[in-house]
């Protein structure tokens, strides 16, 4: 439709202004078949296959206008907005797309206008001032004003609503002059927004201002030009173009391109040059390289420097009916089609020739360039093909080859072409073709490799040995002659004139008619020697090896990231090695390889090329030699399983556009979080997922990522091609998630996409909780310290109490006993001279007292060990002690027991007995008493023991006795305190003393 084409032109112009500094575009020197082509339809995620408009917004996303909704594309997945999930879209038919300078995306639909900003949709209808009917397009002029072009008229966006221009009944086209004048195509002609009048009364199909500011209008009945001050003039077109002008485009060089119902014309200011006669041109577009793209009735056409290339459905185009063109920020061309979905043309690094380009068989075994510059391609079943002047054709002598499987190719100085096959060696010369077999001296008919040395000798690698053809004679060697293995592959000549031979058993060096074998665990499949003399070796299973100055160097896959199987090795003019492998073609710097071997580099990151770069299949072929070749112009040719792939390292397009990166979704415990979220996340959430996209469409599958979450990751995390980052157990606090993207040529994003959030802590993760823990810990430490101090003090008191108890025991037993013994001995001493019998009696008493003391000592020791108690009751114990102590003294003792006698606990009885013993001793030694009365009063809850004498008494304070070395009273007080009893000493001088203790029982 002309209206859509014109809409597309204006949208493209606006974005070209925004990205005017970018110079990336499809290289016009290549044919259309060279470009990478990819299409997306409903099977890949589009909701519908008619795409009216394509647009890339400044955030990097691609947007498609379909008849079943709006589609956003990030290179990996489609997001569809339609009536089912977006209520603002009253119609699923999207006619146009436009992004204004504020980043708002406008959609013209079949039922109103919709604006998209910050993931929010806003609809505009008749009640918002928009003319009723279909919205064809939206435009923003140089003043920043938004214009809506609808079937019901033209409206301008002001303060959140639209204002309709009166007098404009219908419009579908628009154009803006360099001076800012706006014109619209209407049902009655062209409307001037400034002058508010119709310029003429016929409906135009296309409008455009040229570089001189002149307005051109394409009509059904011809082309009109508005000259300032002179009005409209008819512009004569060649008869071959007809009069039905459907599309117009003003190119950057000032030429006007005219698309009609019958062809394409270029007006250079002097004359109209006709292209594409008898073809309907419904839309025109000019890319950054100046190429003109045209939507024809039979595909798309490109015009560059007068050359026309056409791409149709027969060459792979998904639909011959193109509706919209768009050039993205990386220079790729997007095409919206009528029923074929959306497709893209990308600049590719490789050109691959297949059977569609004239190759007789897609499986290529060998490739070789002769001295005259002709490239020969050996196939697996189509014989040999010749590449001359950009065209492939079969070798004229194809039918005379011994086999159509061409495994090896070479030529010699005489101009002969040698072709090795499984059925012998073929020599092709202008005079005819000759076959050589084992009957002529070949080691075997199965020829796998060919090589011509500097002396002109032809070396032939076969299945059963090596053969040299020189001066018309064949000489063969096998394992019996010292060759490493009979199965021979590649052969090259060293700089010193010797030869290196790849065999199944490793590598063989042939010098001076002698073989030296280097056994390798892998079969050698490719050989190359560089200008410095380093021998590079490709193996089957062992990756890449090198031999330098007699030393072997291995490059482990874990560090080099090179595949284990290498079939061909080439070097470009920049000293990069190119490796043909079963996983693609690898490019790696020789300098980086040397640095890796020296330990300067920890790892390599080689460039890998595959189907996204122009190869039809990533796997290169093996079994033939040479499997790769560098031509005289620096081009590198690789044989693959689906054609021969060619790359020019000097002209290889490099994607220097840093990819934009976007965070698409944030999930917290599997629940989505709005990207506009600026608040706090409640505590208790543990699982976070960040889904992101790298918006590079040259090779989306090669986009790599790295990310970092502040507060969790110390450094960037290499995510490879994974598009989701997962985190568990994220600590509370402020966090920022950063993600960067890298395009297919290693260019990283200039700015990271960032999502900031704050996770509130649980109560036990707060500062005050930690402070409380610190305080509690401090109290605990202090409590332990105080417990320890009390424990030490208690132990000290226990030791002191035990010492005091022992002292009391000694004082109350041994000391008192020895006092009695001492008294008896003094009596014996006085009576020895006067009465021997009396002395003997007192001596016997002393002996008895001594025995009693010993018994008391034993009892005390037993009490110390077992804390056992006397078996006697308290009254009996005290009575026995009193009788023993007063046996030889003139002191009367009386024991009185009051109350109901009952058993007393042994520890209490022992202590009371000691107190009574001490009191009796004091009465005998110090009071000189004549009578001692001991009374035990048993009450309901207590026991009172009283020891009362009628001695001389005392007035002095008891502390005096302790100060004088007498501890009897102190001992009694301590024993009473241990029993928690009440102790009292009542004494009056001259009237006696009473020791009284009351203890609970």
DSSP letter for each residue of 667-729 = EETTEEE-TT--SEEPTT--EEEEEEEEE--SSGGG-EEEEEETTT-SS-EEEET--EEEEES
Strand 153-158 and strand 161-164: pairing?
Answer: antiparallel
Largest Cα separation within the chain, whole Å, is 182
Half-sphere exposure at residue 11, Cβ-oriented, CA atoms within 13 angstroms: 31
N residues, the chain: 1001
CA gyration radius for the chain?
56
- What confidence score (pLDDT) does residue 9 get? 39
Instruction: Flag whether pLDDT at 912 surpasses 90.
Output: no
Q: Decide: 554 and 596 in contact? Cβ < 8 Å.
A: no
CA 708, CA 736: separation in Å to the nearest integer? 8
Q: Is residue 591 pLDDT above 50, yes or no? A: yes
Flag whether pLDDT at 713 surpasses 80: yes
As a whole number of angstroms, the distance between CA 846 and CA 836 comes to 15
pLDDT tier for residue 742 given thresholds of 50, 70 and 90: very high
Instruction: Give the pLDDT of residue 957.
Output: 53
Query: How confident is residue 98, by pLDDT bands cut at 50, 70 and 90?
Result: very high
Task: Please tell me the predicted confidence (pLDDT) of residue 162.
Answer: 93
Percent over 90 (pLDDT), the chain: 60
E-strand spans in 126-205? 135-140, 146-150, 153-158, 161-164, 171-176, 182-186, 189-192, 197-198
The span from the CA of 111 to the CA of 36, in Å, is: 37
Q: Hey, what are 58's tokens?
A: 């400044």
- The mean pLDDT value for 445-458 works out to 96
Distance CA 502, CA 726 (A): 49
- By the 8 A CB rule, do 614 and 34 touch? yes
Question: Is-contact 613 35, C-beta < 8 A?
Answer: no
**d(Cα 556, Cα 534) in Å, to the nearest integer?**
18
Do 618 and 584 form a contact (C-beta atoms < 8 A)? Answer: yes
What DSSP character marks residue 915?
H
Report d(CA 908, CA 910) in Å as an integer. Answer: 5
**pLDDT above 80 for 13:** no
User: Residue 819: pLDDT above 80?
Assistant: no
Mean pLDDT across 133-142:
89
Q: What is the pLDDT of residue 816?
A: 64
What share of the chain in percent tops pLDDT 70?
93
Q: Is the pLDDT of residue 433 over 90?
A: yes
pLDDT number for residue 717: 95
Q: Which of 68-77, 319-328, 676-685 has the lowest mean pLDDT?
A: 676-685
Higher-pLDDT residue of 556, 637: 637
Q: What is the rounded distance in angstroms from the CA atom of residue 43 to the CA atom of residue 729? A: 39
The β-bridge relationship of strands 189-192 and 182-186 is: antiparallel
| pLDDT value for 876 | 83
Give the range among 7-11, 183-187, 417-421, 503-507 with minimum mean pLDDT: 7-11
- Over residues 234-263, the pLDDT tens digits come to 999 999 999 999 999 999 899 999 999 999
What does the alpha-carbon distance between residue 485 and residue 778 come to, in Å, rounded to a whole number? 81
Average pLDDT over the chain reads 88
What number of other Cβ atoms are within 10 A of residue 432's Cβ?
9
Assigned token pair, 354: 């297949």
> pLDDT per residue over 752-762, tens digit each?
999 999 998 87
- Classified as helix, coil or strand, 3 is helix
Residue 980 C-alpha from the chain's centroid:
77
How far is it, in rounded angstroms, from Cα 462 to Cα 39?
45
Query: What is the pTM for the complete model shown?
Result: 0.74
Alpha-carbon distance of 981 to 855, in angstroms, equals 29
What tokens does 475 get? 């000489």
Q: Which of 188-192, 507-511, 523-527, 967-971 has the lowest mean pLDDT?
A: 967-971
- Which residues have a Cβ under 8 Å from the Cβ of 356 and sit 6 or more positions away? 315
Confidence of residue 910 (pLDDT cuts 50, 70, 90): confident
Give Cβ neighbours of residue 768 (< 8 Å, ≥ 6 apart).
none
- The strand order across the sheet containing 69-73 reads 51-56, 62-66, 69-73, 78-81
Instruction: Report whether pLDDT(502) > 60.
Output: yes
pLDDT value at residue 883: 80
CA–CA separation, 962 vs 969, rounded Å? 8
Angle at 950 between CA 947 and CA 952, to 5 degrees: 115
- Given a contact cutoff of 8 angstroms between Cβ atoms, the answer to whether 337 and 326 are in contact is no
The whole-number average pLDDT for the span 21-41 is 80
Q: Give the phi and the psi of residue 918 in degrees, each rounded to 5.
A: -65, -40
Q: Is 768 helix (H, G, I), strand (E, B) or coil?
A: helix
Q: Report the sign of the C-alpha dihedral through residues 860, 866, 871, 874, in that order.
A: positive
Measured between alpha carbons, how far is 827 from 833 in angstroms, rounded to an integer?
11
CA distance 443 to 818: 130
14 band by pLDDT with thresholds 50, 70 and 90 = very low
**822 SS3 class:** helix
Query: pLDDT band at 858, cuts 50/70/90?
Result: low
């Amino acid at each position: 439709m002309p209206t859509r084409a014109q809409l597309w032109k204006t949208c493209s112009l606006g974005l070209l202004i925004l990205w005017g500094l970018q110079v990336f575009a499809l290289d016009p020197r290549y044919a259309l078949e060279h470009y990478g082509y990819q299409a997306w339809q409903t099977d890949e995620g589009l909701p519908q296959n008619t795409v009216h408009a394509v647009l890339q917004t400044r955030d990097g996303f691609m947007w498609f206008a379909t008849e079943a909704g709006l589609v956003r594309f990030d290179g990996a997945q489609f997001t569809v907005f339609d009536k089912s999930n977006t209520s603002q879209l009253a119609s699923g038919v999207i006619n146009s797309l436009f992004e204004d300078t504020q980043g708002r995306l406008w959609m013209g639909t079949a039922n109103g206008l919709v604006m998209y900003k910050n993931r929010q949709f806003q609809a505009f209808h008749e009640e918002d001032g928009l003319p009723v009917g279909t919205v064809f397009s939206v435009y923003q002029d140089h003043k920043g004003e938004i214009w809506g072009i609808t079937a019901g008229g033209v409206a301008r966006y002001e303060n959140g609503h639209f204002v309709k221009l009166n007098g404009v009944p219908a419009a579908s086209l628009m154009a803006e002059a360099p001076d800012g004048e706006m014109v619209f195509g209407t049902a009655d002609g062209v409307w001037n927004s400034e002058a508010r009048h119709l310029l003429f009364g016929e409906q135009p199909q296309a409008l455009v201002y040229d570089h001189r500011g002149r307005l051109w209008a394409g009509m059904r009945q011809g082309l009109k030009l508005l000259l300032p001050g002179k009005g409209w003039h008819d512009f004569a077109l060649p008869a071959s173009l007809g009069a039905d002008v459907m599309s117009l485009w003003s190119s950057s060089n000032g030429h006007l391109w005219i698309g009609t119902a019958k062809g394409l014309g270029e007006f250079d200011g002097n004359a109209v040059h006709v292209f594409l006669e008898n073809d309907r041109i419904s839309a025109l577009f000019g890319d950054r390289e100046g190429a003109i793209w045209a939507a024809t009735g039979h595909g798309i056409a490109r015009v560059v420097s007068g050359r026309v290339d056409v791409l149709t459905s027969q060459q792979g185009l998904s639909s011959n009916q193109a509706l919209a063109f768009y050039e993205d920020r990386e220079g790729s061309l997007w095409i919206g089609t009528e029923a074929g979905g959306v497709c893209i043309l990308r600049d590719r690094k490789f050109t691959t020739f297949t059977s569609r380009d004239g190759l007789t068989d897609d499986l290529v075994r060998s490739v070789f360039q002769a001295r005259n510059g002709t490239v020969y391609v050996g196939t697996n079943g189509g014989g040999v093909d010749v590449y001359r002047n950009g065209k492939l054709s079969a070798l004229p002598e194809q039918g005379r080859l011994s086999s159509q499987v061409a495994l090896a190719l070479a030529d010699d100085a005489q101009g002969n072409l040698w072709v090795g096959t499984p059925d012998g060696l073929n020599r092709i010369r202008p005079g005819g073709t000759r076959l050589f077999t084992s009957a002529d001296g070949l080691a075997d008919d199965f020829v796998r490799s060919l090589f011509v040395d500097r002396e002109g000798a032809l070396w032939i690698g076969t299945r059963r040995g090596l053969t040299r053809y020189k001066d018309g004679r064949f000489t063969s060697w096998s394992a019996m002659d010292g060759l490493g293995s009979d199965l021979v592959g590649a052969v090259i000549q060293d700089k010193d004139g010797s030869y290196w031979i790849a065999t199944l058993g490793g590598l063989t060096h042939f010098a001076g008619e002698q073989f030296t074998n280097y056994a390798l665990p892998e079969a050698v499949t490719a050989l190359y020697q560089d200008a410095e003399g380093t021998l590079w070796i490709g193996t089957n299973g062992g990756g890449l090896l090198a031999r330098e100055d007699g030393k072997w160097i291995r490059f482990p896959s874990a560090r080099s990231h090179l595949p284990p199987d290498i079939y061909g090795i080439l070097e470009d003019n920049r000293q990069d090695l190119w490796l043909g492998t079963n996983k693609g073609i690898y490019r790696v710097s020789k300098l980086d390889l040397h640095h890796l071997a020296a330990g300067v580099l920890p790892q390599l990151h080689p460039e890998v090329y595959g189907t996204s770069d122009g190869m039809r299949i990533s796997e290169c072929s093996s079994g033939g030699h040479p499997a790769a070749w560098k031509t005289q112009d620096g081009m590198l040719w690789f044989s693959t399983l689906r054609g021969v792939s060619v790359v020019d390292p000097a002209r290889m397009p490099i994607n220097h556009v840093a990819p934009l990166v976007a965070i698409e979704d944030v999930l917290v415990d599997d629940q989505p979080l709005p990207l506009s979220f600026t608040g706090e996340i409640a505590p208790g959430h543990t699982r976070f997922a960040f889904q992101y996209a790298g918006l590079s469409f040259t090779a989306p599958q090669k986009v790599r990522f790295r990310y970092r979450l502040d507060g969790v990751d110390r450094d960037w995390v290499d995510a490879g091609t994974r598009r989701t980052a997962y985190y568990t157990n994220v600590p509370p606090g402020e966090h920022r998630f950063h993600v960067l993207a890298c395009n297919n040529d290693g260019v990283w994003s200039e700015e990271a996409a960032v999502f900031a959030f704050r996770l509130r802590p649980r109560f036990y993760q707060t500062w005050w909780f930690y402070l409380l823990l610190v305080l509690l810990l401090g109290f605990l430490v202090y409590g332990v310290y105080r417990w320890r101090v009390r424990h030490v003090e208690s132990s000290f008191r226990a030791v002191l109490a035990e010492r005091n108890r022992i002292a009391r025991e000694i004082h109350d037993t041994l000391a008192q006993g020895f006092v009695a013994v001492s008294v008896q001995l003094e009596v014996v001493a006085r009576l020895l001279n006067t009465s021997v019998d009396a002395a003997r009696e007192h001596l016997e008493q002393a002996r008895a007292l001594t025995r009693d003391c010993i018994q008391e000592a034993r009892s005390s020791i037993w009490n110390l060990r077992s804390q056992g108690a006397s078996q006697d009751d308290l009254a009996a114990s005290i009575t026995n002690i009193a009788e023993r102590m007063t046996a030889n003294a003139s002191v009367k003792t009386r024991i009185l027991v009051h109350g109901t006698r009952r058993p007393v606990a042994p520890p209490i009885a022992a202590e009371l007995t000691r107190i009574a013993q001490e009191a009796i001793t004091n009465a005998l030694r110090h009071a000189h008493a004549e009578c001692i009365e001991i009374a035990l009063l048993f009450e309901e809850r207590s026991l009172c023991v009283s020891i009362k004498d009628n001695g001389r008494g005392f007035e002095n304070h008891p502390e005096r006795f302790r100060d004088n070395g007498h501890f009897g009273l102190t001992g009694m007080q301590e024993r009473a305190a241990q029993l928690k009893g009440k102790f009292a000493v009542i004494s009056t001088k001259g009237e006696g003393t009473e020791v009284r203790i009351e203890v609970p029982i």
